[in-house]
Amino acid sequence: MGSYKRLDEIAAAISSRHLNMGKSRPQSKQTNQNTAKGTGGVGVEGEKNKRSTTMFMMQKFIVKKNECGLMFKDGDFQRFLDAGTYHFMDPLRKISVEVFDLSVPEFEHRLTDFIMKQYADEVAKRFTVVELSATQVALVYKNKRMAYVLPPASRTLLWKGVVDVDVDVIDIAETFTLDKTLAAELAYANTGLLRDTAQAAIYCMQVPAYHVGVLYVDGECVQALKPGLHAYWKYNRNIRIEQFDTRVLSMEVTGQEILTKDKVNLRINLSCSYQIKDALAATSQLPNPVDYVYRELQFGLRAAVGTRTLDALLEDKGVIDESVTAHIKDKTAAFGMSIADVGVKDIILPGDMKTILSKVVEAEKVAQANSIRRREETAATRSMLNTAKVMEDNPTALRLKELETLEKVTEKVGNLSVFGGLDGLLNGLVKIN
């Protein structure tokens, strides 16, 4: 009680000093006279001074129903304040109260560690404490709805009361694959905090239809993935997914300049159809299966063209297809890939070689035409000789040939004049010696 009296005396002195500041001495004297006239020695002004002194000595704090307060004195935490109105005798203004809205469950404060250690019972009563190891994550639900994801090695205090908070702790040390339901909920989250924390927490990819995905964890090829959504916790590990189309694909090898066996420079365009049958086999042995197929097609094409002459290639263009197909099939069979078809699209000759080949073809065709003409002339001459031999031994046949010739001549005659009568003409024509 002695300490409180001493505080009252100090407060009264301070209050009296504040009341008398700024007043002139005559006003102060008049005030003292008026005060002395009051009943029982206490005037009206004395009552006002008493109330002012009391108000100055007291502090009032209001904590609403949806709030909780933390009381401090000289900066040191004293206790929690539940909803209500609080009055404290505090003339030196050493007491302060920090008020927290319980509808925002997350509690952050500079003295969190101290409060948890020194007031463990109060913390357990008022908070849901989430402490995660380096291999744990947590899903925080507010009123049965997922709110956000907590990362490993983190600690969070959540107020109890206004918001129903549930926490699902997941160990990701060994199992880091998300089930389809949870993966879809996190991957397609559209609210701000959940979307942001999910993007930081998971690696997800949609593998399209007719494709296969290859999962790499910390650089190691782990498994093949079917079409669909796949999601993984990416804390403490490096996740990567490569996609491969399993349909028959086409590849163009264009502009390959190759010397034939007889030193003719050709430009060849090649087309190939291939399919990836086993993505794991392909990726486990080849860093880039598509580049490997392209390179082997180049090698096979050079081997097919470089070992043959231009004439052989032009006579049998299919030999390039057969040679390259045999080469590429042997090379890709062990890597989970199949070759459906290989074909040469274009064989482009140099400009001067085109002119030379045109002349060669022209000469060949002229020679063929001359040969055919001579052959036909020989046949015609032989036929005429045979006819002459027949006519030589048979006058009747000769006469018939003459009549045939005469008929051909008369076909082109416009007018015919007959002398000696019709009988004389006929007798001259048909007379046979």
The topology (CATH level 3) of 249-349 is Tetrahydropterin Synthase; Chain A (3.30.479)
| CA separation for the pair 107, 218 (Å, rounded) | 36
Name the average pLDDT for the chain: 82
> Do residues 248 and 340 touch, judged by C-beta distance below 8 A?
yes
| CA separation for the pair 57, 84 (Å, rounded) | 20
pLDDT at 394: 77
pLDDT at 28: 35
pLDDT at 351: 66
Domain boundaries, the chain: 2-101, 102-175, 249-349
pLDDT at 55: 59
Tens digits of per-residue pLDDT, 166-216? 999 999 998 899 999 999 999 999 888 999 999 999 999 999 999 999 999
Dump the DSSP string for 7-32: HHHHHHHHHHHHHHTT--HHHHHHHH
Q: 138: which strand partners?
A: 150, 169
pLDDT < 70: residue spans in the chain: 1-56, 351-361, 412-414, 416-433
Please state, as a whole number, how many other Cβ atoms lie within 10 Å of the Cβ of residue 111: 14
Contacts of 193 (CB under 8 A, 6+ apart): 147, 148
pLDDT at 263: 84
CA angle 94, 95, 97 (to 5 degrees): 145
Looking only at the bridges linking them, the beta strands covering 106-107 and 145-150 are: unpaired
pLDDT at 227: 95
| CA separation for the pair 330, 339 (Å, rounded) | 10
pLDDT at 23: 40
Q: With CA atoms as reference, report the closest residue to 241 among 251, 255, 231.
A: 231
* pTM tops 0.85, yes or no: no
